[in-house]
Amino acid sequence: MKGGILNPDNGFEAAVKNFLKDVMEKADIDALLLPFKNAVGDSFEWRLVTADKLAEASVVPPVIAVNGARALSSITRSGKSAMKIAALMRPCEARAAIELSKLNQCDLEPVVLISMDCPGAMPLQDYIADPEKVEKEFEHAAREWNNELIRPICRMCDIFTCTESTWCDADIHVALPETENNAVAFISNTDKGREVLEKVGIGREEELGDWQKKMNARIEERKAARKKAREELKQHVTGLNSLSDTFGSCINCQVCRSVCPVCYCRQCLFNSVKVHYAPDDYLLQAESKGTMKFTPDTLLFQTGRMTHMSVSCVGCGACEDCCPMDIKVAQIFSIAADETQKLFDYIPGKRDAPPPLRVYNEQELKEYET
Amino acid sequence: MKGKIGVFICECGPNIAEKVDVDKIVDEAAALPGVAFVAKHKLLCSEDGKKFLKEQIEEHGLTRLVIAACSPKAHESTFMKVCEEAKCNSHLFQMANIREHCAWIVENKEAATEKAIRYVKAAWRRVGYHEPLAKKEIAVNPDVLVIGGGITGIEASLLLAHADRKVYLIEKSDALGGKVNEFEKIFKNMENTADMLAGKISDVEKNSAIEVFTNSSIEEVVGFLGNFTVTVNKKGERTEIRTGTIVVATGYDSFDPLKAPKYGYGKVDNIYTGREFEVLNKSGKIVGKDGKTPQSVAIINCVGREEMGYCSGVCCLSSIKFARYIKEKLPETEVVNFYREMTLPDKGYQKFFEDTQEKGVNFIRVKSVTVDNSDKGPMITWQNDNGDEHRNVDMVILSAAMTAVNDAETIADMLKISRDETGFFLEEHQKLAPVSTATEGVFIAGCAQGPKNIKESLVQAGAVAGRILSLLIPGKKLEPEVRTSYISEAYCIGCRMCLEVCNYGAICFDALKHVSVVNEIICRGCGNCVGSCPSGAVQTKQFKDIQIHQEVVEVLR
Amino acid sequence: MMPQVITIKKSAEEGIKEFCKVLLQSKKVAGVLALTRKNRSAYYSLVTDPAKMDETTPLAPVMPANAATLLSRLTWEEGPPQPIAAVVRPCEERAFIERIKLQQGTFKNLYIISMTCGGVFPLKLLAQGEIENNLPQYYASLNKAETVENIRDVCKGCVHFIPCNADFTIDMLGRNNDSECAMVVNTDRGEELIKGIEYSIEKRDTPLLRGHEDKKMKGLIEHREKVGEQFYGEYHFGEPGMAGLSSALYKCVGCHSCSRACPICYCNLCNFNSEQHDTRFSKFASQLRKSGSVRVPPDTMLFHIGRLNHVSISCVGCGMCEDVCPVNIPLGTLFSEISKALQSIFDYVSGKNPDEDIPVSTFEEEELTQVQ
């Protein structure tokens, strides 16, 4: 694997900020989309900024308060962008942005999408309860691979980097080779990315073999963790009874859907009048067993949502971060997504692969025909 | 429950009456809320039955109808017509299939009756959610635009012009005639092509109803059946033509033998494709590249058959024709035809083959054949049951498969028609609709639809003309499908999934509002779009989520 | 006139279950809507079989959803074909009355059973499985008409703990609920419903009858009002203007859960999710030119102020919004305190009087002169 290496004086964050400054000056970029700590200091937010605001940015925030793909989509969805934007986000967020672009909810044409090696993120609600404490924990956790305070969904994530086996289709990926002098490497994945690196004067020919080897080993670790998680989680959702139990505490607030980057509908079908029926229908339904959970829409919502977005699920964990009833939504959905994506040989976040629903292949899924 | 519902149960002679307790169904139906009238009848689709239906609707002022009878495929339209005549909107009507789905498949009478009752109740439930849909009528343009000035396009144009239709004939080269121009003679009678073709072309030129555009290509097609607008580009000059139907008669191209290197094309001297040989033959002198007259000629069939995966059906006959050409002009030259199977369909071709054999042409059956270089010229090696054999010849002719035209994909995209795995344009149904496509108003004929000989092409030209003449009659208005899909602008977020899965090109995207929009005239109501929309922004009239749900809920109660 | 009081010699919870069973058995109602809590799950059940009432926990101090939304579903269009009784909290009942005013439900064939309310625990406590542990303390505080310390903030500041329009009210606040369930029959239709049911029905005095005039209740109301104001100040809402509001709302992630959980938010497609609030890029560009920095996604404040604008005249302070907020913004306190202030301008108390129109639908020429 090859890329360009920068040897900065003051660490990863400074190196990336310098790079972004250069990108704005030399590569015709008009604005940056980055995370910032908010004015009150109690959370993080996305801001579209000009170069002079760069210094205040927080390159690797401890939490993903709002998924970067949602932020990017809100800017580029409506009306053509006259400005070129460079957006820096975690690999899962970048993948979600690419998925949204396939669904015409995000225009990536004027965007230079930059991802970076991700150490994981802390649970959002823990952070909200005590921002200072969790920030300190993150500082430590970010330096120690697979720290146990990182969110469970992160500890089973195998798309946290960009090697030849786990590419990331962002235009540029920023890697932390973790050499002695804290070098930072830039890998370009697209022509656009290559052009930017050229203009900024970062070469692309340095060998990153050691880094790739280390990352591949970590990916294998995580793949094993996924396998283990699958065995465990499977029990919680196999059969209607388990499914009812696991999602029994769900109150149908649908926050999982509204913060999910790839759930893009204005009005969710499962929250609309289309799933509301007449009172006598409900009474009749209740009579069949003598009692009925009212409303009976919860499992319909969960399984229905999964049917709709599973092939695009990138395992970002926004759902689990926000669930008021502490259900392991992200872990369950992410493992289920592995299965649905395998069915169609589909990898969310891959640029040229159209969503499976759009491609009719007469010869597929024959194993499910009776 | 809305309005006054009438429930009619047809006994279908003995078909339903013997297998199901019709009286019990009548009783159950009468107890349903909103049902104003229930009756059974021996045969509702008969003249007497229809009369009875109409009378009862009018007498009782029925506003919604449930008819429990046979399959909707059989008589839905029959009863819808009765509704219309009785001034009850024909869409406020639901059929329950108690014949094919109950009487004919459930042995036990009690079980069959129970099932039939469920079906009737389901239809009753559903019909309350039906909406009166208004009929639509659109004026249509009866003109025809034919793409391709070959024999098929010419024939179709003449037939249509003869029936007083205006025809626009678009040809990309500078002359009409197409591939047939290349042939000196046509099998099996070995008639002179030029005379036949010249006559047809002259007819076209004399016919004032046919407007010919040579050196022209199609740039853009918008619209739908009865209302197409086609942009034609003639050497930079653009014309917009309004037409009602389009015929794709773009013909074929030939398999490139370079893709099958075992035949030695391009490497070995004096190898000609069939079409190159026709040119040589037409020049009057059959000679090799060295100017010498060949003493022996090998004709190889099935070139490209394996690679393309289909039999073109004409190469065997073309090969026999080539053999005849050579025997006519060079009687002393030896002709050997290597073939795998001899395809001689239709009347007369068997004799054509046998006569050619009698003229001394040697037909050798082989399992496979290759052509290589040697110092004595082309060397043929073939395998059959006797093992490997080989010999030299002075000239080789490769009878190559017919393929789809090189720009078939562009044409297909423009016209929103499909191609099959062979690359040729896809007909609507292999047996029942061989010249129409899934896109209403766009027809295919001749080799554009698949490899065939001239006779079959002319047959298809006639078929297309017939279809068009009966489809669009000047002055008659088209009644497009009313059970179409529609998209709620408020709920649509513009992901265009529906657009991608629509087979009819009936959905377009409004970039300003960032929403998708259904063209109700093109829409056939198939419902693919509804299935693809995660938010339920698309619904199909008469098949809305709530209508289907109510039916299912009632059946399962 | 002494009203009728039904007394059942069981705990309040067992008593109400018994009452509902009888209603079902005697076919006075076809169904009962009541809470069921099982470990960490809580949901409303629609019960048609009397025996299944045993599985319910109608008085569980949790609110997985505001029942007003559910009552709308159950009384859609012309109402249920047969009568249904629902056991709901006062704020749920008030929210439903507001919804009826917004054409989202009807009283037809619906009987409301409510109670004097000691509040509910936050959903977080339910998710952590801590409800069981907190029950003894809850009932002890109910007994003394004191405020339980870890209930929802809005409950701690709620003065509407006596239901206004229930057909039956279970008297719980300020009395022992372990061995007797006392239910006041408030309405004529309630009386009609229990005709023929054999129960200990007496005419008697009970503190509930004096409602707000009762000394204990009065004391509780005063205490609660103070607590509400205190929270409002604590959460910086006391700072005047946008500064105060925005500092509390900075961490909002725009999930709109508050809107979905709110019983008053009744729109099918929220305006703030519709195309009317899609922001064209040119707007971002011009904002960027002006200030060099634009927070995205945009319109956080617009959403909250807009929602305040739309619902606060009917807000009942149930606190669902706060419970579902993933970033713990004290929305319940914010909305209920602002709503209180707004409603007092119009002398309106949401959900109190079913015959009183929502102020936004009435026009008086001479009002709000103070803001002209």
Chain B residue numbers with beta carbons less than 8 Å from the beta carbon of C269 are: 490-491
Q: How many domains does chain B have?
A: 4
Q: How far apart are CA B523 and CA B504, in angstroms?
A: 7
Q: Which of B344-348, C112-116, C296-300 has the lowest mean pLDDT?
A: B344-348
Cα separation of B518 and B509, whole Å? 9
- Is B500 found in the same domain as B410? no
- Judging contacts by C-beta atoms under 8 Å, the chain A residues touching residue C326 are 124-125, 128, 255, 259, 321-324
Q: If DSSP states are collapsed to H, E and C, what string results for B403-429?
A: ECCCCHHHHHHHHCCCECCCCCECCCE
In a domain, A364, yes or no: no
* Domain extent for A197: 2-229
What are the phi and psi torsion angles at A293 (to 5°)?
Answer: -65, 130
Q: Is there a domain that residue A368 lies in?
A: no
Q: Among A80, A264, A266, which would you mutate to test the B interface (most chain B Cβ atoms within 10 Å of its Cβ)?
A: A266
pLDDT band at A335 (very low <50, low <70, confident <90, very high): very high
The answer to whether B419 faces chain A, any CB pair under 8 Å, is no
Average pLDDT on C149-153 reads 92
Nearest to A327 by CA among A239, A258, A252, A231: A252
Across the interface, whether the CB atoms of C254 and A66 are under 8 A apart is answered yes
Chain C residues in contact with B515 by the CB 8 A cut-off are 275
The closest CB to that of B545, out of A77, A274, A309, belongs to: A274
- ω into residue B188 within 30 of 0, thus cis? yes
Rounded mean pLDDT of C122-139? Answer: 95
Residue C242 sits at the chain A interface (C-beta within 8 Å): no
CA distance B8 to B29: 9
Average pLDDT over residues B274-288: 91
In this predicted structure, what is the pLDDT of residue C223? 87
B491 CB neighbours in chain C (<8 A) are: 269
Per the DSSP assignment, residues forming a β-bridge with A45 are A36
Q: Mind telling me how many Å the CA of C303 is from chain A's nearest CA?
A: 15
Residue A295 has pLDDT above 90, yes or no: no
- Whether residue A47 and residue C84 make contact (CB cut-off 8 A), yes or no, is no
Same domain flag for B10 and B119: yes
Using an 8 Å CB-CB cutoff, list chain A residues near C75. 279
The mean pLDDT of C17-31, rounded to a whole number, is 95
Nearest-Å Rg of the Cα atoms of chain C is 22
What CATH number should be reported for the domain holding residue B62?
Answer: 3.40.50
Widest CA span of chain C, in angstroms?
77
In a domain, B477, yes or no: no
Is the confidence metric ipTM above 0.85 for this complex? Answer: yes
Locate B373 and state its tokens.
């270089």
pLDDT (tens digit, 9 = 90+) per residue, B122-148?
999 999 999 999 988 888 899 999 999
User: Do B299 and B287 share a structural domain?
Assistant: yes
Q: Which residues of A30-61 are buried (b: 16+ CB within 10 A; e: fewer)?
A: bbbbbbbbbeeebbbbbbbbbbebbeebebbb
Segments in B61-136 forming alpha helices (H) = 72-85, 109-127
Q: d(Cα C143, Cα C137) in Å, to the nearest integer?
A: 10
B396: Cα separation from own chain's centroid: 37
Nearest CA in chain B to A100: B495
Examine the pLDDT at C207 and tell me if it is beyond 90: no
Nearest to C91 by CA among C193, C166, C28, C23: C166
Q: Is residue B158 part of a domain?
A: yes
Q: Domain of B420? A: 144-252+404-471
Q: Is residue B369 part of a domain?
A: yes
Of A229, A245, A270, the residue at which a domain comes to its end is A229
A266 touches chain B (CB under 8 A): yes
Q: Are C46 and A52 an interchain contact pair (Cβ–Cβ within 8 Å)?
A: no
Whether residues B438 and B490 fall in one domain: no
Tell me the pLDDT tens digit for each residue of A71-89: 999 999 887 888 999 999 9
Predicted structure pTM score: 0.82
CB of A53 within 8 Å of any CB in chain C?
Answer: yes
Is B187 inside any structural domain? yes
Residue B230 — very low, low, confident or very high, per pLDDT cuts 50/70/90?
very high
Q: Which two tokens stand for residue B546?
A: 């709530």
- Asked whether the predicted pLDDT for residue B436 surpasses 60, the reply is yes
Chain segment B516-549, per-residue pLDDT in tens: 999 988 898 999 999 999 989 999 999 998 899 8
| % residues pLDDT > 90 (chain B) | 80
**Judging by DSSP bridges, how do beta strands B395-400 and C110-115 pair with one another?**
unpaired
| C 283-322: CB under 8 A from A | 284-285, 288, 292-298
Token code pair at residue B372: 């290589």
In a domain, B184, yes or no: yes
- Partners of residue B513 in chain C, C-beta under 8 Å: 275
**Min distance C274 CA to chain B CA atoms (Å):** 7
Q: Are residues B355 and B441 in the same domain?
A: no
Say whether B553 and A265 touch across the interface (CB within 8 A). Answer: no
User: What rounded mean pLDDT belongs to chain B?
Assistant: 93
State the pairing for strand pair A2-6/A184-188. Answer: antiparallel
Q: Which of B1, B129, B492, B493 to mutate to test the interface with C (most CBs of C within 10 A)?
A: B493
Q: Between chains, do A357 and B532 touch, taking CB under 8 Å as contact?
A: yes
Produce one character per residue of B31-64: b if its CB has 16 or more CB atoms within 10 Å, e if not. ebeebebbbbbebbbeeebbebbbebbeeeebbb
* A274–chain B nearest CA distance, Å: 7
Cis omega before residue C297 (within 30°)? yes
In a domain, B557, yes or no: no
Q: How far apart are CA B243 and CA B225, in angstroms?
A: 9
C interface with B, Cβ–Cβ < 8 A, is 269, 274-275, 278
**C51, C74, C255 member nearest A290 (Cβ):** C51
Same-domain check for residues B397 and B412: no
A40 and A176, same domain (yes or no): yes
Q: Is A281 on the interface with B (CB under 8 A)?
A: yes
CA B337/CA B277 separation, integer angstroms: 15
Q: Are A237 and A199 in the same domain? A: no
Which of B426, B495, B526 has the highest number of chain A CBs within 10 A, making it the mutation to test binding with A? B495
For tokens 């969805």, name the residue: A77
Two structure tokens written together for A220: 């294998």
Q: Does A242 touch chain C (CB under 8 A)?
A: no
B84-120 pLDDT per residue, tens:
999 899 999 999 999 999 999 999 999 999 999 999 9
Q: How confident is the model at residue C46 (pLDDT cuts 50, 70, 90)?
A: very high
DSSP string, C278-296: PPPHHHHHHHHHHHSEEEE
Shortest Cα distance from A40 to chain C (angstroms)? Answer: 6
Residues of A in contact with B438 (CB under 8 A): none
Q: Average pLDDT of chain C?
A: 90
**pLDDT over 70, % of chain A:** 98
A161 plus A22 within the same structural domain: yes
What does the alpha-carbon distance between residue A272 and residue A336 come to, in Å, rounded to a whole number?
25
Out of A327-331, B446-450, B497-501, pick the least confident: B497-501
Residue C237: pLDDT band with limits 50, 70, 90: low
Same-domain pairing of A117 and A19: yes
3-state secondary structure B174-197: CCCEHHHHHCCEECCCCEEHHHHH
Q: How far apart are CA B305 and CA B367, in angstroms?
A: 13
Q: What would the 3-class secondary structure string for C312-349 be?
A: CCCCCCCCHHHHHCCCCCCHHHHHHHHHHHHHHHCCCC
Among A229, A248, A274, where does a domain finish?
A229
Closest by alpha carbon to A29, among A267, A157, A172, A196? A196
Q: Where are the alpha helices (H) located in chain C, listed in sequence order? A: 12-25, 67-74, 90-101, 123-127, 131-143, 153-156, 188-194, 207-210, 215-234, 241-249, 257-261, 281-291, 300-311, 320-324, 331-345
Banded model confidence at residue C371, pLDDT cuts 50, 70, 90: confident
Residues A8 and A129 in one domain: yes
Average pLDDT over residues B414-427: 92
Per DSSP (E only), the strands in B445-548 are 485-487, 507-510, 515-518, 538-540
In chain C, the residue whose alpha carbon lies closest to the alpha carbon of B515 is C275
Residue B1 predicted with pLDDT over 50: no
pLDDT band, residue C238 (cuts 50/70/90): low
Query: End-to-end alpha-carbon separation of chain B, Å?
Result: 18
Identify whether A103 is part of a domain. Answer: yes
